[in-house]
Structure 1
Amino acid sequence: MHKPIRRTAVIGAGVMGSGIAAHFANAGLEVLLLDIVPPNLTDAEKKDPAKRNGFAAGGLEKAIKARPAAFFHKDNARLVKIGNVEDDLDKLKDCDLVIEAIIEKMEAKQALFEKLEKVVPQHCIVASNTSGLRISEMTKGRSDNFKKHFVVLHFFNPVRYMKLLEIVVGPEADKDVLAHAVRFAEDVLGKGVVFGKDTPNFVGNRIGAHAMMATIHQMIADGLQPEDVDNITGTPMAHPKSASFRTADLVGLDTFAHVADNCYDSLTTDEDRDVFKVPEYIRKMVEKKLLGDKTKGGFFKRGADKQVMTLDPKTLEYRAKGGDEAIKGVTKGLAKVEDPRERVKKLVADQGKAGDFARKVLYRSLAYSARRIGEIADSVVAIDDAMKWGYNWELGPFEVWDALGFAETVDAIEKAGHKLPDSVKKMKASGATGFYKDGKVFDLLKGEYVAQKQDPRYATLQILRRGSAPVLKNDGAEAWDLGDGILGLTFKTKANSIDPDVISMIGQAVDKAESEFRGMVVANEGEHFCVGANLLLVVMAAGAQQWEDIRKMVHGYQGAVQRMKYSRVPVVAAPYGMTLGGGLELCMGAGAVQAAAETYSGLVEVGVGLIPGGAGTMNMLWRSLEGIPEGMHANIYENVTQVFKNIALVKVATSAEEAKALGYFRRTDGVSFDKARLVVEAKNKAIGMASSGYHPPIPRAYRLPGESGIATLSMMVDTLVAGGFASEHDAKIARKLAVVLCGGLGGAAREVTESEMLELEAEAFVSLTGEPKSQERMQFMLMNNKPLRN
């Protein structure tokens, strides 16, 4: 048994340290953030605690203002206290975990650990966020107990968003301490753990830096340009859209060069050592402070006219972004292929410049990854996970290998002149058809397939489904038996948008759940949970002036949402990613939500000239009112005003916790830090609700402000228009929204039922679809994927 980790400290308030502190706070932990006392303080300033804590305070402030946000909600920063290492080390005596993220210099870390050993309690885990320094050197001179409790916890930046956490320990580390650290990483922080070995840059950065540097050198050899390379090594290669050079700009050229230099300096026996040698033009970029986004210019920058410009590696001058048209033609087509395995396979099969370049860099990277098994990690799974979780690759190197065909790729790699380890040659000779097969993975060290360890909490929809066919099915959605009496509803539309088939299936699924199951989960697959209604259908109907068809669609979705809301069995929605418009309305209709921490939600209909029409306007207001005790004389107008602002100003929550704060989710709704566990945790929530005697809510009516509220909100709108913050059409939409939220025209404040609210909502929605400027907004969104202000 180990003491739970509740109190933590982070030493070093730079980008990594403050990011780690922020995520610890996101997990509800108390955090002490320390840094050195700023040098060159005046005698008076040296006596001022605020001045002495300046570096820590600055790091925290930057974390609070960071974009993308480091904290789930700005209030989480209240859990972080600041100090300095000269005055506040004694405060570490109550800590359960201390992690350092100071400068990557051995002497500095050794000196810090010597001080820490004197103050931290015996049970405290001491960790380093180093990416390359040896544990044996860092802990030299420390006690046995210190070494037993010492681990490397190598987070990836930005800490909140990157799932990978590499854990490395020395030979003296206690196994129970390691297990405790792993449970903390996975269960509290929601990280994916990869066990690395005590080698320079561990797993992710070793493979990632090699792949990046090999790509950079190959670009020069082939006479390509940065935009050509990024067109190839992004989505077509199953890598992030930021590809190679855009990723370097995001990370920072100085950081990237430091990682490569560390590899080159440390890996003196690496057969591919020269790959890590930073080209001279990148050295010059660092000297000229062309570091990427942090200096507003790296390989790419925006010109005065906001157009993207590219740095020419030969001249170090910026020019208009261009690129080889033949490469563009191939890669644009490949980007539309949804299956990453099929996408990579087609890229490598291309016989033009794109395929030629892809083969050169991929084969080299795959061979290098295979040669590192046993040195940096013991399994292909560790390397694959590191690249997916730390670099956002859709497929790890060995998954790419399988996608290309194992045996033929072995032959192609050797034909290209790259050396493969004997373990891979023996694997081919044994008749193995891939690294992954039937739930097993090939162990290159043992030379055989072994069971692939799988945390049952990571079960996907495919794993949970029972039977060979869905219980219900149409073209837009299907419902499967997920076991344990839970029915799982899944959308199959593009971007999981809501269309008539989805609407129909919601009602059918609830009927089936009530009659044959004890609960239901709405869990989707794909990049985003639901981007809202199928806007094209609305635009087409509006263009044909089919107003009754639109009204029928609106009433249909309102009915489906309310059918979930009053289901006799619990319905749990499992949102993640973009959960917008109708997607959020669906969540508001569910009895409960189990959301991924990274859920970005909002009622965004105003951006396309409409208001929420799927019971969202009503349910959002009702949620804000449901906590008011009966008989309490509350100022309901304040609730109405806040809901009005959230909808009219298109406020999008940037995390599940912020969604709770905005009233989109309930405070009691669950949050899954690790999205991989979302479906299982949503299912468990439904089981728990069913087992606890679930009963549906009772319909409520509320006293709304009426015309006085409408008039007040209209004055607010007029002020925004007069100040140039809103257009006349914004005002028209807002006034219709005000009418709905205040209970309609017709006099003083009165009690309004749900059915009355839904009719007001539908009327406003349908009327706005007939407005020419709303139609312009909808069409612009469909064509450009961004809102039009008209």
Structure 2
Amino acid sequence: MSKAIRRTAVIGAGVMGSGIAAHFANAGLEVLLLDIVPPNLTDAEKKDTRPGGARNRFSAGGLEKAIKSRPAAFFHKSNARLVSVGNTEDDLEKLKDYDLVVEAVIERLDVKQALFAKLEKILPAHAIVASNTSGLRIHDMMTGRTEAFKKNFLVMHFFNPVRYMKLLELVAGPDTDPATVERIRRFGEDALGKGIVFGKDTPNFVGNRIGVHAMMAVIHQMLQDGLTPEDVDNITGVPLAHPKSASFRTGDLVGLDTFVHVAQNCFDSLTNDEDRAVFEVPAFIRTMVEKKFLGDKTKGGFYRKGANKAIETFDPVKLEYRPKGGDEGIKGVTKSVSKIEDPKERVRKIVADPGKAGQFAWKVASRSLAYSARRIGEIADSVVAIDDAMRWGYNWELGPFEMWDALGFAETVDRMEKEGIKLPDSVKKMRASGATGFYKDDTVYDLLKGAYVKREVDPRNATLTILRRGQAPVLKNDGAEAWDLGDGVLGLTFKTKANSIDPDVISMLSQAAEKAESDFRALVIANQGEFFCVGANLLLVVMAASQKEWGQIETMVKGYQDATQRLKYAHVPVVAAPYNMTLGGGLELCFGSDAVQAAAETYSGLVEVGVGLIPGGAGTMNMLWRALETIPEGTTVVTQEFVTQTFKNIALAKVATSAEEGKALGYFRRTDGVSFDRARQLTEAKARAIGMAEAGYHPPVPRAYTLPGESGIATLSMMVDTLQAGGFASEHDAKIARKLAVVLCGGAGGASREVTEQEVLDLEREAFVSLCGEPKSQERMQYMLMNNKPLRN
């Protein structure tokens, strides 16, 4: 048993340091954020030792930037209360009983060495010291340190932004105690939700070594082939199973100064690298850095918004901005390839293209694959480590070796050899052995051993494919299917586009609840794909509305109300596992579940007003009932405030940008679970469902609440009038809001009274159907279908 890591400190309050501190706070850890005392303080300022005073200006400023940052560094701004600030002159002594200290100061060896010398005299024996460096060697940083200090020292290399990037590279020094590494591995996985990759003490470790090489190779190849940045980004983004930001847009997001620093460090340090010339920064990029064209941070990098907000591109030849363009032939090919859902098929298709797009894709991909293979044994010992690093640190859909398998291992090796691309002997031997790919079933090819070895998989990361029992689903239709997940748990999964809700899904919800009650002890709703659920299938609503099929719409809405209520009162526990976009009907589904095991990055909200409607799948009622459910029976409470806040959340279409913010807005219960690592969400949701079943689950009893009636409607109407008068709401916004007010207040024409769920459901359904008949609502729905963004009319 090792001491739990509870008290943490981060030294260095820059972008990385403050980001690390914020994520530690997200994990519920106490954090002390330190930085140097600002130079050139006045005599009065030198005496200002208040937490937000002059001596702590740098650390306090770093925390403030983290609180205001977009994308947000904290799951919820209240998490910042766990972070206190200080400086390295006055507050180092506070670290005498801390468990973990992460150094994120300037990348200067002398500065780091001096800091470690001070920490060595203060820290307790159990404390771990970690550096977030990516360019300095552990051997050099540890010069002059004691054996005891070295034993508890390692590199924890986070990727920016820390909250969102799963990769955490751990690098041990020659004297690091294996127990220290294991302690941090468990901490990184369990507390922080990170994916761990073990690297070696080489420049830029694993992710940046491969990632920067790939990007630099792309830039040099672009110059050689005479392509434009737009051409390159069209090829190296989605078609090559990389993020939409591709190469140059990614550079703008990271910052050209940061990118140049990392590339230059590789060029300076990797004197024996056979591809060292790739890391040499081209002259046009150095010109951009000199002119402070650094990317998004300076409102202009490889791309910028010019006159009339038109996008402009920095021309690498003319060294000036020009209107964004690109080769139309390349655009056509890459646009077609990007529509292919399967990333493996995408890379095969783009590389097979005989034109400019395919030729360029092959050149840069093959060079990156071969370089990755040559690095095995130098930067990491397994192909899995490199693949994980690129998926988790660079958001590639396929790591280099996964891409290699997708292209065909043998065919790719043969083509590389034919074209004179240098391959390591280990890959040649692998080809000669008849191996069919790096990954085969539950094994992976070990290039150092020259054989397939069993792939180690964390059982907590089990996918639906792994958990499913039997050869066929228990229930199935065109929109959804339910599988036996073992241990008495039935798992329901949608199969519609973006996991939207259609009649088949609605039907399956009720069927699954009934099947779970008869043959299982719990039901888990766990979808796959990019989004958990983007809401109802809007096309069906638009088609029915255009044909004035009001009865069809009402039947559909009542069907979903009945389905969510069926889940809510099922005689087995129902657990939803939302992630990413969980909007409209997707959130209503969570309301109908007994509990939620949400991914930390769950973006939830009732956004129906954006398409001219209100929540119609029991969402309006259940959102309010969630707010009221904590009121003890018999307590005299004026419910107007609860109604008003629910009204604001729905009328303003507030979207929570994390699971924790979803709790704060009342979309999830405070007792609901949050999975920091999405890979573990399914097993954690299943465990939650089993726990509820084994604890003696019984369904809830329906409750009625006293709603404000006419007086509440009048109060909310005044709020709407104010918004409309101030130009914050259109006339149609106001119409929608007033209908919503009637539903939430329990109906028009009466005083405050006790209202049942069914009464509110009837009001909700009536308002939804009536809004479907409004021309402006139909315009909003059609615009959303055509443009994938809301219309304000």
TM-score by length of 2: 0.99
CA distance in 2, matches of 1:688, 1:333: 47
1:399 corresponding residue in structure 2:
402
1:305 offset after TM fit, Å? 1.2
Output the amino acid matched with 1:39: P
1:634 offset after TM fit, Å? 1.4
CA distance in 2, matches of 1:735, 1:645: 12
1:480 offset after TM fit, Å? 0.3
* 2:596 pairs with 1:593: yes
CA distance in 1, matches of 2:778, 2:312: 34
CA distance in 1, matches of 2:565, 2:316: 59
Q: Where does 1:552-701 land on structure 2 (aligned, <5 Å)?
A: 552-701=555-704
2:147 to 144, 149, 155: 144
The CA deviation string for residues 51-97 of structure 1, in whole angstroms up to 9 with x for no partner, is: 00000000000000000000000000000000000000001012100
CA distance in 1, matches of 2:538, 2:105: 50
Output the amino acid matched with 1:41: L
* 2:26 pairs with 1:23: no
CA distance in 2, matches of 1:633, 1:66: 41
1:427 to 423, 427, 430: 430
1:632 offset after TM fit, Å? 1.4
1:412 to 388, 411, 415: 415
1:129 corresponding residue in structure 2:
132
Output the amino acid matched with 2:416: I
1:319 offset after TM fit, Å? 1.4
CA distance in 2, matches of 1:542, 1:350: 44
2:488 to 485, 489, 497: 485
1:40 corresponding residue in structure 2:
40
The CA deviation string for residues 609-662 of structure 1, in whole angstroms up to 9 with x for no partner, is: 000000000000000000011121212100000000000001000000000000
1:11 corresponding residue in structure 2:
11
CA distance in 1, matches of 2:154, 2:395: 25
1:547 corresponding residue in structure 2:
550
Instruction: Report the secondary structure of 1:305's partner residue.
Output: helix
1:7 offset after TM fit, Å? 0.3
1:285 corresponding residue in structure 2:
288
Instruction: Report the secondary structure of 1:147's partner residue.
Output: helix
CA distance in 1, matches of 2:135, 2:426: 27
1:475 corresponding residue in structure 2:
478
2:166 to 163, 168, 179: 163
CA distance in 2, matches of 1:235, 1:56: 39
**Does 288-297 or 319-328 show the bigger shift?**
319-328
CA distance in 2, matches of 1:173, 1:467: 46
CA distance in 2, matches of 1:503, 1:352: 46
* 2:111 pairs with 1:111: no
* 2:441 pairs with 1:459: no
Instruction: Report the secondary structure of 1:53's partner residue.
Output: helix
Output the amino acid matched with 2:764: E
CA distance in 1, matches of 2:692, 2:474: 22
Output the amino acid matched with 1:300: Y
Output the amino acid matched with 1:585: E
1:304 offset after TM fit, Å? 2.9
* 2:212 pairs with 1:215: no
1:99 offset after TM fit, Å? 0.4
1:418 offset after TM fit, Å? 1.3
1:415 offset after TM fit, Å? 2.2
Identity of aligned residues (%): 78
The CA deviation string for residues 546-565 of structure 1, in whole angstroms up to 9 with x for no partner, is: 00000000000000000000
1:427 offset after TM fit, Å? 0.3
1:251 corresponding residue in structure 2:
254
1:171 offset after TM fit, Å? 1.4
1:57 corresponding residue in structure 2:
60
Q: Where does 1:496-575 land on structure 2 (aligned, <5 Å)?
A: 496-575=499-578
CA distance in 2, matches of 1:418, 1:238: 22
1:716 corresponding residue in structure 2:
719
CA distance in 2, matches of 1:757, 1:112: 63
1:179 offset after TM fit, Å? 0.6
TM-score by length of 1: 1.00
Instruction: Report the secondary structure of 2:102's partner residue.
Output: strand
CA distance in 1, matches of 2:748, 2:418: 78
Instruction: Report the secondary structure of 2:371's partner residue.
Output: helix
1:211 offset after TM fit, Å? 0.1
1:44 offset after TM fit, Å? 1.1
Over the aligned positions, Cα root-mean-square deviation in angstroms equals 0.5
1:81 corresponding residue in structure 2:
84
CA distance in 2, matches of 1:150, 1:332: 48
CA distance in 2, matches of 1:286, 1:633: 65
CA distance in 2, matches of 1:306, 1:466: 54
2:369 to 366, 369, 375: 366
1:314 offset after TM fit, Å? 1.2
* 2:465 pairs with 1:450: no
2:308 to 296, 305, 310: 305
1:272 corresponding residue in structure 2:
275
Gaps of 5+ in 1: none
1:168 offset after TM fit, Å? 0.2
CA distance in 2, matches of 1:546, 1:23: 50
The CA deviation string for residues 445-473 of structure 1, in whole angstroms up to 9 with x for no partner, is: 00000000000000000000001100000
- State how many pairs are aligned: 790
1:499 offset after TM fit, Å? 0.3
CA distance in 1, matches of 2:417, 2:279: 22
Once superposed, which parts of structure 1, at least 4 consecutive aligned residues long, lie more than 6 Å away?
A: none
The CA deviation string for residues 652-673 of structure 1, in whole angstroms up to 9 with x for no partner, is: 0000000000000000000000
1:746 offset after TM fit, Å? 1.7
CA distance in 2, matches of 1:307, 1:482: 51
CA distance in 2, matches of 1:323, 1:634: 63
The CA deviation string for residues 752-782 of structure 1, in whole angstroms up to 9 with x for no partner, is: 1011110000000000000000000000101
Instruction: Report the secondary structure of 1:8's partner residue.
Output: strand
**Does 400-409 or 631-640 show the bigger shift?**
631-640
2:2 corresponding residue in structure 1:
2
CA distance in 2, matches of 1:467, 1:507: 22
Instruction: Report the secondary structure of 1:44's partner residue.
Output: helix
CA distance in 1, matches of 2:654, 2:575: 24
CA distance in 2, matches of 1:347, 1:742: 56
CA distance in 2, matches of 1:426, 1:520: 49
CA distance in 1, matches of 2:588, 2:617: 6
Output the amino acid matched with 1:350: D
CA distance in 2, matches of 1:547, 1:251: 51
Instruction: Report the secondary structure of 1:725's partner residue.
Output: coil
Output the amino acid matched with 1:125: I
The CA deviation string for residues 17-66 of structure 1, in whole angstroms up to 9 with x for no partner, is: 00000000000000000000001111111111210000000000000000
CA distance in 1, matches of 2:182, 2:235: 41
2:759 corresponding residue in structure 1:
756
CA distance in 2, matches of 1:438, 1:30: 43
Output the amino acid matched with 1:27: A
The CA deviation string for residues 689-716 of structure 1, in whole angstroms up to 9 with x for no partner, is: 0000001100000000001100110010
